[in-house]
Amino acid sequence: MNNYILIVGLLIAIETIVFIALVYRTIRLELKLKQANEKLIKLLSQKKSSEVITGQIAEKMAPFLENFKHNPQQSIFCGQPIDYIVFGDDEVTFVEIKSGNARLTSKQRYIKKQIQNKQVGWEEIRIK
């Protein structure tokens, strides 16, 4: 009977040690995963930031690139929500500059639709 109690006690001790080791290993893996996730989030944030800066530079340089088909001297930079308004000889053109996989914002899509539907007006305000 004493041997049986001793063996059961040893088995319980071994199971407890194995359980603690597994819990410890799981906690270490979760910590490493959390650290890796934080590094990934930081890298993605840095990448997005550099893409935004690159886009802003591209917006400012666009009138001087060969695929910009308007006269830079007739181009007025607005920045938001549309990048340029070009006052050409025959028409006024709204120009939005995008780089990489950037897409129009919902506001820009709305403005584009208004322009395409000729929902553009003129207003003159006189100050006395």
Spatial distance between the Cα atoms of 97 and 102, rounded to a whole number of angstroms: 9
How many domains is the chain built from? 1
Is 94 within 8 Å of 85 (Cβ atoms)? yes
3-class DSSP string for 1-50: CHHHHHHHHHHHHHHHHHHHHHHHHHHHHHHHHHHHHHHHHHHHHHHHHH
Sign of the C-alpha dihedral computed for residues 30, 31, 36 and 41 taken in this order: positive
Is 76 inside any structural domain? yes
Q: What is the pLDDT of residue 118?
A: 93
Residues 6+ apart with CB under 8 A from 44: none
Q: What is the pLDDT of residues 5-38, one digit of tens each?
A: 888 888 899 999 999 999 999 999 999 999 999 9
Q: What is the pLDDT of residue 52?
A: 84
Is 45 inside any structural domain? yes
Spatial distance between the Cα atoms of 26 and 32, rounded to a whole number of angstroms: 10
Is 128 inside any structural domain? no
pTM: 0.63
Q: What is the pLDDT of residues 88-110, one digit of tens each?
A: 999 999 999 988 888 999 999 99
Is 126 inside any structural domain? no
Structural domain of 112: 1-121
Q: What is the pLDDT of residue 69?
A: 93
Helix, strand or coil for residue 62? helix
Spatial distance between the Cα atoms of 114 and 119, rounded to a whole number of angstroms: 5
Q: What is the pLDDT of residues 42-64, one digit of tens each?
A: 999 998 888 888 888 888 999 99
